[in-house]
Structure 1
Amino acid sequence: MEITDYILIILKLIVGISILNVWLVQPNKATKWRGGNAKTIVEEFEVYGLSKTFCYVIGFLKVSLSLLLLASIWFESLTGYASSGLALLLLGSIIMHIKIKDPMYKSVPATLFLLMNIAIALLAA
């Protein structure tokens, strides 16, 4: 394996596990990254003017794509779908932070994960 293969695996692990952590382990935990003054993911979507149903749809997509990204460590053909889908959803997260005029620091995690997904897509191409 080449160094880029190891970098890809590390990036996939960081992004995949981190997003699973946010949506499955800490959805009801207040963090400084949540939009507005939200304490939970559902509250965050409400701050953005989005429904609880939409929150669950996005959550399902992010969890599914994160699992696909982790699976792509072994099944490389999944990489493009997973990283592109996550990149699109993360771009949406950044746009929502901007929409409600959040301080820029609240967009840092989504921006970093967006950049990591772009790097994954480029390295895997």
Structure 2
Amino acid sequence: MEKFYIASSFRNIDAVRYVTSKLVGSGYIHTYDWTTSEKVKDSLTLEDLKTIGENEKKAVMESDFIVVLLPGGKGTHIELGIAIGQGKRIFLYSPDRDIDNVETTSTFYHLPEVKKCYGTLDDLLKEISG
């Protein structure tokens, strides 16, 4: 079965966990669960951040596709960049159409390898399972 990684921010942790559980329940393999770092995020050291970064980079590299749940922060966009550079399939999720606003969007959201998804998380999951 295919391997996946989810890039997002801590503010979307419930959505990340929901999508992860649904994909794993459908037989997909999750390459890394960064949400387990949540409980210590306020007391992380630079060494902790290095380890997490290494784990996240490896997870993106090992995945067949990544899911990007917006809004995201710096890390989310770095992971998106790694995935683009590695030629991964990318599902970019926005609950609204903000990513199509020319004044605030990123050029990288509109590359051909990026599949833009809107609506509910269940709509996203249908798009992934195709």
Instruction: Report the TM-score, using the length of structure 1 for normalisation.
Output: 0.35
Q: Which has the higher helix share?
A: 1
